Copies of this chain bind each other. A is one copy, B any other.
Amino acid sequence: MATSVNAIRTSTVKRRALNRDKVEAAILREAVRLFAAGGYEGTSIATVAERAGLSKQNLLYYFPTKEALYRRVLDGVLDDWLARMASLADARKEPADVLRAYVRAKLKFSREQPLASRVYALEVIGGAKVYGEQIRQRVIPLLRADIAVFERWIADGRIAPVNATHLLFAVWAMTQSYADFAAQMTLVLGREQLAQDDFDDAERLVTAMVLAAVGLP
By a beta-carbon cutoff of 8 Å, the part of chain A in contact with chain B is 37-42, 118, 121-122, 124-129, 132, 135-136, 139-140, 143-144, 147, 162-163, 165-170, 172-174, 176-178, 180-181, 183-185, 187-189, 201-202, 204-206, 208-210, 212-213
Contact = CB atoms under 8 A, between A and B. Distances in A.
A118 to B, nearest CB: 5
Contacts of A143: 188
A181 B170 CA distance: 11
User: Interface majority SS on A: helix, strand, loop or mixed?
Assistant: helix
B125 A180 contact: yes
B184 A139 contact: yes
Contact of A166 (B125, B128, B201): B201
Nearest to A164: B205
Nearest to A143: B188
Nearest to A210: B209
Contact of A212 (B37, B176, B206, B212): B212
Contacts of A165: 188-189, 201
A112 to B, nearest CB: 17
Given A147-B188, A212-B212, A202 B125 contact: no
A205 B167 contact: yes
A122 B213 contact: no
Per CB-CB distance, the 7 closest pairs between chain A and chain B, nearest first, are A173-B177, A41-B42, A212-B212, A173-B173, A166-B205, A41-B41, A209-B213
Contacts of A135: 184, 187
Chain B CB within 10 Å, residue with most, of A129, A168, A178, A185: A185
Nearest to A166: B205
B124 A184 contact: yes
A169 to B, nearest CB: 6
A94 to B, nearest CB: 20
Contact of A208 (B121, B129, B181, B213): B213
A184 to B, nearest CB: 5
Contacts of A39: 39, 41-42, 122, 126
